[in-house]
Structures are given as C-alpha cells and as structure tokens.
Structure 1
Amino acid sequence: MDNIAGKKSSLTWAVNLSVVLLVVLWLFPTVGLLISSFRTADQIATTGWWKALFPAEQNLVLRAADPDENRVERDGVYVVEGNLFEGEDVTGKIRVWGTSSQAISAFTPGEVADLGDGETMTVGADGAYSWTGSEDQISGRGQRVFVSAMVPPKFTLANYERVLFSGSNTDSMAKAFFNTLTVTIPATIIPILIAAFAAYALAWMDFKGRALLIAVIVGLLVVPLQLALIPLLKLHNGIGIGKGYLGVWLAHTGFGLPLAIYLLRNYMVGLPRDIIENAKVDGATDFQIFTRIILPLSFPALASFAIFQFLWTWNDLLVAKVFLIDATGETTVMTNQIVELLGTRGGNWEILATAAFVSIAVPLGVFFAMQRYLVRGLLAGSVK
C-alpha cells in the first residue's frame, strides 16, 4: 500500500538527502580551490581554506628601519623607532617575538630584549618598536625580528595578475587559455557536424549494411583511445599534420565520433515518424528534412554531446601531449601549462590554485549554462 498513486514513497527523504550530499561533495573542492586562489602563500601554508574568513596565527620575519637614516640621539643614546609592519603587506597583533629564529617566543609584547653591550629593543603588540644603543651598535641594516602574530584574513588579486598577465611563458596562462580555446572549439564543432549527418542516415535512411555499421559504432565505444595514439601519430606524421592544431582537431574528432553518432542516432530514431513521412509526401528531400526538421528537434541531444565533447577536450592532457608538441610554448594548452607550473613552482600553492581555477572556470560556465539539456540528451532513445 506504500506505492499507491498520489502518495510519496517513504524513501523520498533518502533520495533528496543523497542528492544534497552529492552536490556538497562536488562543490567542496571547487569552492576550496576558488578561495585558495585569492589567498596569499603564507595564509595557505598556515591554515586551510575553510578558515580563510578568520584571523590566523602566522610566523613572520620583519625588520626594523635602516638605522643610518632613522636613528636619533636622545640623552647620549641613539634610538630607532617605528613600526615593524610599516611597508609590509601584512598587519596583525603580535603575540610573541624574538631576535633569533631559534627563540621566536623569547619575549612578549612590551618586554625589553637585551641584545648585548647595552643594546636593547622592545616591541609592542601593534608592531611599534624602540631600538636603543650606541652609534656604532645601531648602524648598517635594521635589526631582524621574528614574530608570531594573529594576522587578519586577506584576499588579493595578485595571484591572477601573476598567472594571467605575467610576461614569461613559464608563468602566464593567458596564451595557454587562448590556445585551449583554439583546440576545443573546432574539436567540438567538427564531430557534431559529421555525427549529425551520420546519425540521420543510420536512423531514417534504408541502405545495406546499416545494422552492421551501428554494431561497429557501438563496439568502438569500448575501445580505449590509448590503443590508437601511436598508430594515429605515425599516420599524422606521415602526411605532415603530426605537430599542429589540425592534427589534434582530427584526433579529437575521431575519438569523439562514436559517442556522438550513437547518442544522436538514439535521439533521432525516437522522433515522430509521421513528421518525416509527411515531409516526404510534400516532396521534401532528405537534406531538407535533416536541416529544417531533424536538427531543430534534436537540439537537446546536440547540446548534450557538445557539453561532453567540450569538457573532455578542454580537460584533455594526453592527446595534447601526443599531437600538440611545441618546445617554444606557442601551442601549449592549459592542462600542460599547469603541469609545467607543478614542475617549476611546486611549492607555490597559491599560483597552482589560481591556475587550476582559471582552467576549470570555462567548463563550469558551459556546464551550468547547458546542463538542462544534459539529462534530456542522455536519456534519448532509452524510453519508447
């Protein structure tokens, strides 16, 4: 009696909870990457991204002002005063401090540190300091001070400026961004154009061997693309397109066609037969039927495959590594650029986080803009 029409199943709450949990798990790393891309290196090294909105304790190395230019004489004693945070890109409240990296917590704010030979220094919680000594002692570079301070949260656009607008090929992803668009857009449009014609022929045109062709296409869906990389590269090198955009476009087209034809054919075969038959009775050719009836009605399936192909091509590294080899970096795509950043800046997590988010920003926009067509296209032909 639990499944009476009009009565909700008792498992509805479990389904809703599972969906919410999956959404949270999917958004968790994305939100973390976004927040980390706006944080500084010190903040990332100190606390996790979930604490980005709260003050965090950081160990800082600060330096007093140059004594030769800032010292003043008072009652026979030379004094240098100022604030340790002056000229720094951080501020905070000092908890403990010291003049040696081995004893960073030797003093608390307000205590006087004996630096030897009558030279003393005191540091306040707000960073204000007073350094006293003789003229010979207070000279040269400013005294180095190690502090442990509660630093307020800080967000910056410097990471994006460094990643997107740096002048060197090693750091900049702006060129890699446009290179990726150059690869992805044609590699998405070309297989859709070819697959749409093929799917219509397999769905609505009678010819010998049609069933065999459909079986071959289904079989190609389970063939790993890694098996075809080397033979295809040799073929491309033999005809002179092995290291350029044309070669990678054709490679992505070949690897994407089986899924495209299968998906579009399943959708087109489920369209009302009466519409096609009436059009033929009215004298329409197959090309007219395809362009004026089938394509407009098949937009959900076309959009669904476009999402898959765009995301797969944008995030691809293997095919780009094989078919788009360029030592000068002129055709480097974003996935390969991130690999280069891992090699040259493995410790700069703020740069890596920014580069990674720049890489996923466009796929996220495409997915959210066209996701309403995704399920409709995936279910094409599954229900009669």
Structure 2
Amino acid sequence: MASGPKTPLAWAVHLSVVVFVLLWTLPTAGLLVSSFRDKDQIAVSGWWTALSSASQNLVARAPAGDGEEMVDGRFVLSGNVLDGAAGNVSAFGFSSRGPAAFEPGAVADLRGGATLTVAEDGSYTLSGPESFKDKRGQRIFYTAEVSPRFTLENYGNVLTAAGIGRSFLNSMTVAVPATVIPILIAAFAAYALAWMPFPGRSLLIAAVVGLLVVPLQMALIPLLTIYNNVGQTFGIDPKSYVGIWLVHTGFGLPLAIYLLRNYMAGLPREVMESARVDGATDFQIFTKIVLPLSFPALASFAIFQFLWTWNDLLVALVFLGPTDDKLVLTGRLVNLLGSRGGDWEILAASAFVSIAVPLLVFFAMQKYLVRGLLAGSVKGG
C-alpha cells in the first residue's frame, strides 16, 4: 500500500535528524582533514579552507654564506623562501616590525650596504659588499598565497613515536578481556533472570537497574583500596591487568545483564517449552538455543564495552599506573601531546590513530546494534 504525503511533523523530524547528523559528523570530518594538512597551514587557517589557497605570514632564513657567489664585486646569496612549495609572495620584509614593508621585486636596503630582493615566485637575492659567512643567516619575512598542502608526515610522527606499538598492545590486552569476561558472566545471569523462576528474582532485577546509575568515579578509589588490600593478602601485583579487568567487568555487568535479560525475555516461550519437553536441561537450552538467538544483543553490548575500555584513560592510570611497560594507547598519546602541545597536526593524527580500532569494531558489528537495543523493549518475560 502506497504511503500518503508526509506531514509537516514528519518533515520536521527528518530535518532534525539531518541537522543532528551534521553536528556530529562535521567535527570528525574537520579532524580528519586536519590530520593530513601541513602543520604551517593548520596554524593559520581552518580546516574548511584546506582545499583553497591561504594567505600566510611566514619567515625564512637565508643560509649564513653557504653557496654565496661573487658578482660584480659583491657577495651574492640566492635561494627561494617557498622551498619548492607552490605559491606566490605578495609582500616581504627583513624585520618583524615590518614583515610586509616591501612589494615583490622591490629592493630593501639592509645594514652595511647590503640589499635584499624577493620576487613573486619566492626567489630571493641577498647582496652585500662583505661575505655573509661570518654572519648569522638573514631572516626574511614574507606574506604568501600558499596552495593547499597535504602530508602523511603527521601520522608518521605519531606511529613512529617511542612506545606506540607497546601501548597499542597494552590497550588490546585491557580491552579484549574486559569485553569478553562481562559478556560471559552477564549471559548466564541474564538467562537466569529471564527464564529461571526463583525467590528474589524481581529484587535482583531492580538491583541491577539501580547499579546502572552508580558513577565510576565515586567508587574508583574505594575499589582500588580493596583491591590493594586483597592483593597484599594473596600476593597479587597491585598494578597487574587483573585489577583493571575486574573493574571494567564490575561496571560493565549491570548494563550487560539489563540488555541481555530484556532480549532473552522476549524470545519465544514455545521454543523453550518444546526443548524442555524433549528433555533438554537449562544449560543445553542456554547454550544451544538462547545464545545463538541472542547474538544481536551480545554484539550490541560488545560494541559499547569495547569502545569504553579502549578509550579509557582514568581507570588505566589508576590500576596500571603511568609506567611505560603498562601505559595504554590513550595515555601514550596524551604524553606525546604533552611534549608537543602546540603541534595541532599531532593532535588530529593522534585522535584518528586512537579511534581506528573502535571504528573497525563498530562498522563490523553495527548492523546488530539497533536490533539488539530495541529487541525486548516492548515485551518482557
């Protein structure tokens, strides 16, 4: 049956969705573009100008006498301030107080009878009665219309930084077990709460829902204290991966149990009853019927949990510490930015290095996400 014309409300809803998608997508697109831009262009123009020429105030330094020649009794140095890059010089100067004092082709008089000329294509000529070898290189200030420049150097600097590979493995060591362990535990608990009647089941479900609102930051220090005390008693290294696995498991279980329980409660009751009539035990029903049917819900929680554990920094610093052998990828990138805080190209490239794996996980499993979240939201057992 053909649908009728859309109402104004439907158009408003669709328009709102488009606006929200753009609001979420544009910053990410800008970050991606910036991660490939030249560092000098990032400092002077926004990412939306990446495909157009930009006017930049730059400075170059003529080499101190290297390659000078004798022409008509004067020492001459020549070169190009653009250093091979495409662009046009619109003004130049020899002092920071007048960086655009001269037009291209004009002759600027320097100290000691020296002169400086910069052409529109960026080529310069520095001439003087004395050799430039015993002097500091002459600074040349210039304003240029520079063509867009893109480079992979930003990613090269991030990926070749000391310890990046080790930190990547540390993040995988944290994220994979911290995703698998709560799924295994929550699947058993969800099946029991959905299909196994026992006294106090409703109270347990209410407790699980209540634990969803407990903030991690409030319980982090008490958990660390308890874990350290237990570790001293049983001789467990307080900075081992076991501690962070337990913390991520504990805080991931309420959402996992709630999500899986709602999904499993919506499975057809007739299938369960037929299996019991055929003599199947609860464990057989769980492993052979419930788990295969619950894969969308399992995948939905796996996406959430992996994204959380992979991007985590606070819990990793508290339970693993800042040492190089245990530092996760987010901590390594923070340290890299700490020593190079003004390098925006490093920030942009680091952001995409850190989200590369979560993006792969999300796009590989996103088809199960909505199905797993919505299933069981209307009907519950």
Aligned to 2:355: 360
Q: Contact 1:248–1:320 (CA<8 Å) still a contact in 2?
A: yes
Aligned to 2:252: 256
Instruction: Map Cα deviations across residues 329-350 of structure 1 (whole Å, 9 max, x no partner).
Output: 2111233234334433221111
Aligned to 1:201: 192
Displacement of 1:288 after TM fit? 1.3
Q: How does 1:180-191 map to 2 (within 5 A)?
A: 180-191=171-182
Q: 1:42 to 1:243 in 2, by over 3 A?
A: same
Q: 1:63 to 1:291 in 2, by over 3 A?
A: same
1-side partners of 2:348 and 2:52: how far apart? 20
Which letter maps to 2:147? P
Which letter maps to 1:197? F
Aligned to 1:145: 140
Displacement of 1:99 after TM fit? 0.9
Aligned to 1:81: 78
Which letter maps to 1:177? F
1-side partners of 2:81 and 2:2: how far apart? 73
2-side partners of 1:344 and 1:74: how far apart? 46
Q: Contact 2:62–2:137 (CA<8 Å) still a contact in 1?
A: yes
2:274 aligns with one of 250, 272, 278: 278
Instruction: Map Cα deviations across residues 86-117 of structure 1 (whole Å, 9 max, x no partner).
Output: 4x6x4421110011111111111110111144
Quick check: 1:377 aligned with 2:368? no
Displacement of 1:139 after TM fit? 5.0
1-side partners of 2:152 and 2:89: how far apart? 26
1-side partners of 2:305 and 2:219: how far apart? 18
Q: Which structure 1 segments of 5+ residues have no match?
A: none
Aligned to 1:302: 298
Aligned to 1:46: 44
Displacement of 1:38 after TM fit? 1.3
Aligned to 2:309: 313
Aligned to 1:212: 203
Report the secondary structure of 1:226's partner residue: helix
2-side partners of 1:119 and 1:239: how far apart? 77
Report the secondary structure of 1:70's partner residue: coil
Displacement of 1:317 after TM fit? 2.2
User: Would you say how many aligned residue pairs link Structure 1 and Structure 2?
Assistant: 373
Cα root mean square deviation, aligned: 2.0
Q: Contact 2:300–2:372 (CA<8 Å) still a contact in 1?
A: yes
2-side partners of 1:123 and 1:311: how far apart? 53
Q: How does 1:1-384 map to 2 (within 5 A)?
A: 6-10=3-7, 11-67=9-65, 69-86=66-83, 90-136=85-131, 140-167=135-162, 169=163, 173-240=164-231, 241=236, 242-326=238-322, 328-384=323-379
Q: Contact 1:244–1:325 (CA<8 Å) still a contact in 2?
A: no
Displacement of 1:136 after TM fit? 4.3
- The two structures have a TM-score, normalised by structure 2, of 0.92
Q: Contact 1:65–1:82 (CA<8 Å) still a contact in 2?
A: no
1-side partners of 2:125 and 2:218: how far apart? 71
Q: Contact 1:267–1:381 (CA<8 Å) still a contact in 2?
A: yes
1-side partners of 2:131 and 2:192: how far apart? 93
Displacement of 1:138 after TM fit? 6.8
Instruction: Map Cα deviations across residues 104-156 of structure 1 (whole Å, 9 max, x no partner).
Output: 11111110111144322211011222222223467544422111111111111
- The two structures have a TM-score, normalised by structure 1, of 0.91
More moved, 240-249 vs 27-36: 240-249
Q: Contact 1:78–1:138 (CA<8 Å) still a contact in 2?
A: no
Q: Which structure 2 segments of 5+ residues have no match?
A: none
Q: 1:78 to 1:346 in 2, by over 3 A?
A: closer
